[in-house]
Amino acid sequence: MNHPTGPDANKQHRLVARIAHLPLLPSIVARIVALDPEDPGYFDKLVKLAEEDPTFAVRLLRLANAAASAPTKPILTVRQAAIRIGARESASLVTSMSVARVFVPHSVGRKNLWIHALQVAVAARTIASLAPAAHVAPDQAYLAGLLHDIGRFVMFEGASEDLDLVESSDWQTPQGLLQTERALLGYDHAQIGALVCGRWSLPKHLADVVEHHHAYGNENRPGAPRGGHELPRIVQMADLFSMRLMHSPEFADLEPDGIAAELAAHCVRDEWSSPPVSPGHLAPRVAAIRDESAQLARELFG
């Protein structure tokens, strides 16, 4: 973000200062993302990481014992819990809990932002797993989706009046949101998000996705990601999916053909040469994405 000047400079300085004092993410996040899901030892390494933090271990055990199809015997170990929940779902819970320690929701607006972040994260992980030719690790896609709007989390914490001003304005599209933020505030949430990524020393490709997640055709920002890396488009498609799901949740209960038509109409951009996964391929997973993200939200926030 450019060095702030003008009438809102003090406000922007305070926001940047708040980022500088954010708690660091627990190191377990980087260690989980660094794991290779195709490694034969992936499961054992994940369990070992989860066992290192009692809070994570307790949450995994609680979720495993509260699963919809309750186990016949209580699950008493992290290993059993991870088997019950699934390795990738366990990794997603631990990663989400790590971010939730930094940004705790204290209002309906914050909870809705968290629900959106979880939907995007689960959808991005699903899309990555359905598109092996993209060579994007599902856990990396999950983290990128979880963090894509992290700038708005910071605004909730440090500039809620700015959010209220933007929300009361007449914007209709994601690009319109960015333009409104820049016009009214002198900055936008994507730029703030990139600063958070820097604070947390996240890899550059994740910071790039956060900063450019609304630059569908790379036309809005100089230096936006280009070329063969599919992670930006995976997160963008997941973001559009979540926006549609939050606006019209009933679409997840349509027949597969109807879901595919909704996805094609609302979650694919003309600027893309092709979507990261076809709507027809994603359609059968939509209800599962909705249900898993809702379960994560309940586990994180009750």
- The reported pTM is 0.84
The residue range of the domain holding 294 is: 9-20+105-301
pLDDT at 177: 83
Kindly state whether residues 280 and 229 are assigned to the same domain.
yes
Whether the Cβ atoms of residue 79 and residue 96 lie closer than 8 Å to each other: no
Cα separation, 106 vs 64, in Å, equals 26
Q: Are residues 16 and 39 in the same domain?
A: no
pLDDT at residue 218 in the model = 56
Last residue of a domain, one of 81, 101, 121: 101
Look at the chain and report how many structural domains it folds into: 2
Looking at 101, 123, 138, which one is the last position of a domain?
101
Token representation of residue 150: 């992290």
**pLDDT of res. 286:** 97
Q: Are 203 and 248 contained in the same domain? A: yes
- Say whether both 97 and 211 belong to one domain: no
- CA torsion sign, 299 to 110 to 170 to 188? negative
pLDDT for the residue numbered 229: 67
Q: Based on the fold, state whether residues 186 and 254 are members of the same structural domain.
A: yes
From 275, 273, 274, 248, select the one nearest 262 (Cα to Cα). 248
Q: Identify the CATH number of the domain in which residue 140 sits.
A: 1.10.3210.10
Q: How many angstroms separate the first and last alpha carbons of the chain? A: 35
At a CB cut-off of 8 Å and minimum separation 6, what does 34 contact?
none
The span from the CA of 239 to the CA of 145, in Å, is: 8
Say if residue 57 is in the same domain as residue 165: no
| Distance (Å, whole) CA 85 – CA 253 | 24
Return all residues near 268 (Cβ < 8 A) that are at least 6 apart.
237, 240, 275, 279
- Distance in angstroms (rounded) separating the CA atoms of residues 91 and 75: 18
Confidence at residue 12, expressed as pLDDT on a 0 to 100 scale: 67
From 58, 74, 101, the end of a domain falls on: 101
Is residue 181 included in any domain, yes or no? yes
Q: Is the dihedral of CA 51, 149, 157, 9 positive or negative?
A: positive
Q: Exposure pattern of 223-241 as b/e (b: 16+ CB <10 Å)? A: ebbeeeebbbbbbbbbbbb
Q: Which residue has the tokens 């304005």?
A: 169
Do 41 and 88 lie in a common domain? yes
Instruction: Note the pLDDT of residue 160.
Output: 72
pLDDT score of 280: 96
**Sign of the dihedral defined by the CA atoms of residues 214, 107, 53, 67, in that order:** negative
Q: What pLDDT is attached to residue 254?
A: 95
Cβ-contact 210, 144 below 8 angstroms: yes
Averaged pLDDT in 10-residue chunks for the chain of 302 residues: 51 74 79 82 90 84 73 84 86 86 79 92 95 88 93 79 77 80 84 89 88 75 52 95 93 95 95 92 96 87 74
Judge contact between 268 and 238, C-beta under 8 A: no
pLDDT given at position 241:
96
Asked if 23 and 101 count as a contact pair (C-beta separation under 8 A), the reply is: yes
Q: Which residues contact 281 (CB under 8 A, 6 or more apart)?
A: 130
Write down the pLDDT at residue 249.
Answer: 92
Q: Is residue 3 part of a domain?
A: no
The reported pLDDT for the residue numbered 289 is: 96
- Whole-number pLDDT of residue 69: 56
CA pseudo-torsion sign 161, 162, 168, 172? negative
**Single-letter code of the amino acid located at 180:** T
pLDDT at 276: 94
Enumerate residues 6+ apart whose C-beta is below 8 A from 104: none
